[in-house]
Amino acid sequence: MNHSDGTQFRRPTINDVAALSGVSKSTVSNVMRGTGSVSAGTRARVLEAVAALGYRPNATARNLVLQRTNLIGVVVGDLANAFDAELVKRIEQQASGRGYTTLVCNTGGHAEREGSRIEALLEQRVDGIALLDFTGDRAVLSQLLGERVPVVMVSCWSDYTDCVAVDDMVGVELAVEHLVALGHKRIAHVVDPLMEVTTRRARAEAFERAMLRGGVSPRSEWTLVFDPDDEDGERELMSLFSAAERPTAVAAANDYTAIRLMELLERHGIQVPADVSLVGFDGIEIAGLSRIALTTVTQPRDELAARAVELLLHRIEGDDDAPPARHRMNPALVVRHSTAPPA
């Protein structure tokens, strides 16, 4: 960082301001932070020097002495999934409104990447971490717990940290009930490999339970993972839908998966909803496009984000030893045109 004339460029420090305005640096500090008591005259002189020098406090130094960074980390599975992206956007918005800057890590669902990114966040001494769609790797999680850094899990569940999530049971029930009410009996459940494992399991279990309650028997071989990068898996998936005894409906674990599945099915000549009904989960924007018109279970994204930030900051700024707080929100079914009675 040099001037083009070769002289070293140095950002002005609090000392420069103090020198120029003829006061001590404690006074400058007081003026900058609005603390202590300084006379109107000196305050003006200091402010003048600040402006003249273009002084900007160095957070790096402040972080060190305060042992706080006003940084929060957000660990997310996949920003290409609109639900994740929209959640991150809202979290960033909330956090910045409360004076925090957001560090974002996209893990792609890889546990080892998750670990190394969290490691970096910890080194940077973030004040707290929000985990969205956390894969739930035991080692990573226990490492985090050991650090005693405030953590909030969003859209997934843990016994040891604050959590905020939609009630998966209720949501899946909503989806299955809708399908059953339409007359479907052969219903499959398709999940996203990137999805966090406890959420996946929770939704899968809720799926079975809801099926049973609806008087329909779930088949274990009809709960499968749709990984678009895995061509074998794709073939396997499609063979399911060309079998004689094939599902007439699918409850997908999220919209992203549902929409890619819709695409896959229709590329193979299987129409939605004429041949197969499809219901998603999340309520991402594009699901509402009339060309997609995905029936889905929506999550209250604004509330989810707001509550997550609130929990995190409460633990950062307030009482750190309170027992973990859990918040469940209610999902809602939005019926569009991807579901219909079976043929």
Partner DNA sequence: TTGAAAGCGCTAACAC
Partner DNA sequence: GTGTTAGCGCTTTCAA
Classify 310 in phi/psi space as left (phi over 0), alpha (psi -120 to 50) or beta: alpha
> What track of x and - describes contact with DNA for positions 265 through 294 (by CB under 7 A)?
------------------------------
Tell me how far apart the alpha carbons of residues 282 and 331 are, in angstroms, rounded to a whole number: 9
Contact pick of 15, 101, 217, 271 for a second copy (by CB under 8 A): 101
Token digits of residue 163: 């959590």
What x-and-dash track marks residues 38-57 binding DNA by CB under 7 A? Answer: xx-xxx-----------x-x
- Classified as helix, coil or strand, 138 is helix
CB atoms within 10 A of CB 125: 13
Decide whether 139 or 181 has the Cβ nearer to a second copy.
Answer: 139
H or E segment to which residue 60 belongs? helix 59-66
| 317 neighbors 95 (Cβ within 8 angstroms) | no
Question: What CA–CA distance (Å, rounded) separates 318 from 183?
Answer: 52
CB of 117 to a second copy, least distance (A): 6
Residue with Cβ nearer DNA (7 or 60): 60
Interaction between residue 108 and DNA (CB under 7 A) = no
Q: Do residues 78 and 84 touch, judged by C-beta distance below 8 A?
A: yes
Regarding 306 and contact with a second copy (CB under 8 A), the answer is: no
Does residue 16 touch a second copy according to CB under 8 A?
Answer: no
Q: Is 33 in the site for DNA (CB under 7 A)?
A: yes
* Window 44 to 83, contacts with a second copy (CB under 8 A): 54, 56-61, 63-64, 69, 71, 78-80, 82
> Does position 257 bind a second copy by CB under 8 A?
no
Structure tokens at 115: 């670990």
CA dihedral 41, 44, 50, 56 (to 10 degrees): 100
136 class by beta-carbon count within 10 Å (0-12 exposed, 13-18 middle, 19+ buried): buried
- The reply on whether position 299 binds DNA by CB under 7 A is no
By CB under 7 A, is residue 243 in contact with DNA?
A: no
Provide the binding-site residues for a second copy, judged by CB under 8 A: 1-2, 4, 9, 54, 56-61, 63-64, 69, 71, 78-80, 82, 85-86, 88-89, 92-93, 96, 101-106, 108, 116-117, 119-125, 146, 148, 259, 262-263, 266-267, 285-286, 289-292, 320-321
